[in-house]
Structure 1
Amino acid sequence: MEEEFLRVHPEKLSVRERWSKALLRWDGCAHMKKKKLCRVGVPQSQRKTVWPLLLMTYGWQLEKYGDYHLLMSQQPRDAAMFEIIERDLGRTFPTHRLFNKPGSTGQMGLRSILRAYANLNPETGYVQGMGFLVGTLLIQIGDEESTFSAFVSIMENPRYSMAKLYAPGFPLLFVRLHQLQKLLGRHCKKLLKRLMEYGIELSTFAANWYLTLFAYHFNFGLLSRIWDMFLCEGWKIIHRVAIALLLLHKSALDRARDGAELLIALNTAHEGKDEVEVIRKALSVKFKTADLVRWERKFCQQL
């Protein structure tokens, strides 16, 4: 699997060497240095090492969440939850050779990790879309138990708080969509006006961007680059990529003659995008973390 990825996405020696040096002194490596390296991209051969390190940064402790093997073997509080997980296994990366057959290594890993997490956090349990997060981590990290640790970190670590996106009522998802709307008002004013004119909710085309961190939409080359930055920097890069997609798709969006055509164009905004172009455009989208914090606070006060 890794050999195939490397053949399609060859690494630059200088980048690999820079990462090797950073890994030798990881604990003493400044955050800004890690941030710059992650924006260049983590070499594929080193992601299985770097991603867990990024996820365990910021004082995050996983030990309090219990034993993976015990969690995966427990019976669920809600038996129907495991049936839903089973139903969705074949829908997660169905064309990827790791997941495309019943009983495949990927499907077995998905089943075990999703069951374990449903037992760990029964209030959230399992929600469709989680499998794409687990699948992405499983492809890159490989080891099942390490993948579970990484998934729990993405879900529960306050830096990412993905569990709050999937919690009943999807509370954090609507915060993220509100933040996206504010960013559209800055960077895509004409589009926002048309969305309001046609009554198109952001959730109809952008919900899966946030719920799966683009894993549902992008090839693994671009997806991995986005996750390199997300795991290091947090949510800003997801917003930046969302705005970048809409800016790069502007001509198609402008050609839409009515609400139906506009919605079709929005739902295809991710198609055929060049990896380098998307990353370059995303990093050119400027806003402050303080803006996101302020918008979230005001949104929550209005609830």
Structure 2
Amino acid sequence: MSSSSVEDIPDQCKDLFTQDGVLLKACIGRPITDLNSIGMLCVVQNPDNSKCIEWRPLDLITIDSDTQDQEWAVVNTIGRRQRTLSGNMTSDYATARARIIKIPLAELKSFRVTRNNQQLQLSTKPGVWQTTLYFQHGNAEVFVANLKNHVKSAKTRHDRNTYVVVEPNTESQVLNRSFAELDIFTENTTDVVWNLVSNFKQRPYETTMEAFSKLTDIVYYGNEGVNGKRDVSEEVADLLTKSMSALEDATTVTRSDEYEVISVKPTLPPRPSIPRGTPLSTEKWDGLQDTEGRVMEVEGVKQLIFRGGVAHSIRQSVWKYLLDYFPWHASHAEIRAIQKRKTAEYYSMKLQWKSMTEGQEARFSEYRDRKSLVEKDVNRTDRTHPFYAGDNNPNLVVLQDILMTYVMYNFDLGYVQGMSDILAPLLLLLGNEVDSFWCFVGFMDKIASNFDMDQAGMKQQLLQLQQLLMFTSPALAQHLALKDSGNMYFCFRWLLVWFKREFSHKDIMRLWEVLWTGLPCANFHLLICVAILDAEKDMLISKDYGFTEILKHVNDLSMCLDVDRILSTAEGIYHQIVSAPHLNDQIRVILGLPTVGTTTSVNSDEAEPEPETAQATHANGTSNGSTEPSAVFGPDMEEVMYQIGLDMNF
């Protein structure tokens, strides 16, 4: 941006477009006496064919007072008189000429239209609106429409009234040549430029600031006297355009009619790489018990299990503690007494349904329906595993007996599809019917809400998963929302049976025992979901899948997941979250962390409307704090979508 002087009056400038009645409201670097002046706004073509925006004060507008009414003198114009440098110029004209504001279109970075299209702001420097103009007659629409004929622009995602000027360019050759000629890098130009470009994605805010710290003086204030180099190549505008986009991605804007506050968007700190440990061994397990069999360091044991799982040779013993069958501080004698009591209790409940006559069963429809569902599910549970394979397999009989006994143990809940998946690995490992039953009871106590008839527990977890994903990976969360998958229903099976169908028996045993420790936070299984989605993020975003395709892709991950890598990633994500300066109470509550009174929504300010978010919010009677407008599905559609997720998973 520059001011004209008497000496640089062009002879052959051509006005491509003019609009009068434009008030100069603000301009950085201009005296206050120049402000609130009426003038003409033009698009001008210079003798060298370059173009600029020019604001001229009213003093320079020639009016034929004999033929025009004074009222029209402000809104009607005649082209500028041609003057030569040798012509007679009055001091008034020279003063008025010095007040002209010129903005070369090559330097224009962005412009914004506000206040019912009557105010236009122009910027040649990211983050700063140098010139503000007010259209007293009509609005800025006609001028902006004409301006778009001369510059390529695009609306920003965050403010639909703001346009960024985009210069088409080739990538590597142009950037390399421009930076080489600027001589602002001492390193290899190619490496530096591409490091700079690639760093926009990794460190958008810092990289943008670094680029502008090196370019500001040269680009915005000229490079006269700097190593005798020529003016900056126009191709550098492409880099600056990327910088503007990166800065937009890394910042949020709060606006009013009088001011604008630009702040950095909250981002997670770097994710630590946390290696997995070795399993809890027999020697360590024995060493952590006293002479009477009491486990002395319970939290230490849980830490070891969380870090590396349990050696298979001692799983039968350790799982009974993890699933609350045995108390951690019980002695060997006390454990024997517990086993005796629990055995008697189990067979008492089993006898209740075993002794039921056909007549009783015929008059007991709820029992009959649950028995039929158990039989159906048992006959298709893990039939490819040798332990349950083949016809007339006695292990299937034991599996069915345990599930039917659980119906008598918890008749309010009874049997729900998916419970057989939970029980099968327990019976496979423990072998004993009574031990398997009581460990199954302990497991069900941890996840009973998954099997509520109204599915409130599952819907709440899906909502919490959506909130965690929005906090940790807003780009993926917003992409899923656009593809009708923001409700996270495609994760239904993961949560219902705790990833049982996603991993082999060996891996699911490792994953379950880690989750049973309750470390490092509550709902760590939701971070397991986030970790899996994080690994698939690029694929999910790059494919234009709808709800059904996303669900199919997620289901196809079954038996293709690395349990140790996922556990490590999930733990790294946990540490990212707890170290985030913008961690709010909504996420703290999900992870069981102490609240501090911050309730900022995890939804980013620029998020598009997310019907699924609103849908899940209404279903659970809670709010995720979003202030974005959302299209809300009715209860009937909610249940239809939910049932689709259930049916396609099972």
TM-score range normalised by the length of the shorter chain: 0.7 to 0.9
2:346 paired with 1:68: yes
Compared with structure 1, are the counterparts of its residues 65 and 206 closer, same or farther at alpha carbon in structure 2 (3 Å cutoff)? farther
2:434 paired with 1:145: yes
5 Å matches for 1:226-245? 226-233=511-518, 236-245=523-532
Could you list the runs of 5+ residues in structure 2 that have no partner in the other structure? 1-277, 331-337, 354-360, 579-586, 594-598, 600-616, 624-650
Q: Report how far residue 13 of structure 1 moved.
A: 9.0
Look up the match of 1:47: 315
Look up the match of 1:5: none
Compared with structure 1, are the counterparts of its residues 268 and 121 closer, same or farther at alpha carbon in structure 2 (3 Å cutoff)? same
Look up the match of 1:8: none
Compared with structure 1, are the counterparts of its residues 166 and 228 closer, same or farther at alpha carbon in structure 2 (3 Å cutoff)? same
Is the CA contact (8 Å cut-off) linking 2:288 and 2:295 kept in structure 1? no
2:578 paired with 1:291: no
Give the helix-richer structure, 1 or 2: 1
Compared with structure 1, are the counterparts of its residues 79 and 145 closer, same or farther at alpha carbon in structure 2 (3 Å cutoff)? same
Q: 1:19 aligns with which of 285, 294, 308?
A: 285
Matches of 1:293 and 1:255, distance apart in 2: 30
Instruction: Between the two structures, name the one with larger relative contact order (CA 8 Å, sep ≥ 6).
Output: 1
5 Å matches for 1:229-268? 229-233=514-518, 236-259=523-546, 260-268=548-556
Is the CA contact (8 Å cut-off) linking 1:117 and 1:125 kept in structure 2? yes
Q: Report how far residue 269 of structure 1 moved.
A: 3.7
- Match of 1:250, as an amino acid? K
2:617 paired with 1:302: no
Q: Report how far residue 207 of structure 1 moved.
A: 1.4
2:196 paired with 1:196: no
Q: Report how far residue 130 of structure 1 moved.
A: 0.2
Q: 1:222 aligns with which of 504, 507, 523?
A: 507
2:561 paired with 1:273: yes
- Match of 2:345, as an amino acid? D
Q: 1:164 aligns with which of 432, 438, 449?
A: 449
Matches of 2:307 and 2:467, distance apart in 1: 25
2:314 paired with 1:30: no
RMSD: 3.2
Compared with structure 1, are the counterparts of its residues 133 and 246 closer, same or farther at alpha carbon in structure 2 (3 Å cutoff)? same
- Match of 1:22, as an amino acid? L
2:548 paired with 1:282: no
Q: Report how far residue 58 of structure 1 moved.
A: 7.8
Q: Report how far residue 26 of structure 1 moved.
A: 4.8
Matches of 1:291 and 1:142, distance apart in 2: 38
- Match of 2:384, as an amino acid? T
Is the CA contact (8 Å cut-off) linking 2:462 and 2:487 kept in structure 1? yes
Is the CA contact (8 Å cut-off) linking 2:295 and 2:328 kept in structure 1? no
Give TM-score scaled by structure 1 length: 0.83
Is the CA contact (8 Å cut-off) linking 2:305 and 2:513 kept in structure 1? no
Compared with structure 1, are the counterparts of its residues 203 and 155 closer, same or farther at alpha carbon in structure 2 (3 Å cutoff)? same
Compared with structure 1, are the counterparts of its residues 23 and 138 closer, same or farther at alpha carbon in structure 2 (3 Å cutoff)? farther
Is the CA contact (8 Å cut-off) linking 1:98 and 1:105 kept in structure 2? no
The number of residue pairs the alignment matches comes to 287
Q: Report how far residue 128 of structure 1 moved.
A: 0.8
Give TM-score scaled by structure 2 length: 0.40
Look up the match of 1:3: none
Secondary structure at 1:168 match in 2: coil
Secondary structure at 1:28 match in 2: coil
Is the CA contact (8 Å cut-off) linking 1:138 and 1:147 kept in structure 2? yes
Matches of 2:537 and 2:281, distance apart in 1: 33
Secondary structure at 1:110 match in 2: helix
Matches of 1:170 and 1:87, distance apart in 2: 21
Aligned-pair identity in percent equals 23
Is the CA contact (8 Å cut-off) linking 1:137 and 1:151 kept in structure 2? yes
Where has structure 1 moved over 6 Å in runs of 4 or more? 58-66
Q: 2:458 aligns with which of 173, 191, 199?
A: 173
Q: Report how far residue 204 of structure 1 moved.
A: 3.1
Matches of 1:226 and 1:41, distance apart in 2: 8
Give the strand-richer structure, 1 or 2: 2
Matches of 1:23 and 1:249, distance apart in 2: 43
For residues 94-131 of structure 1, the C-alpha deviation after alignment (integer angstroms, 9 at most, x for no partner) is: 21111123432321121011101111111111111000
Is the CA contact (8 Å cut-off) linking 1:132 and 1:212 kept in structure 2? yes
2:388 paired with 1:122: no
- Match of 2:622, as an amino acid? Q
Matches of 1:89 and 1:33, distance apart in 2: 34
Could you list the runs of 5+ residues in structure 1 that have no partner in the other structure? 1-11
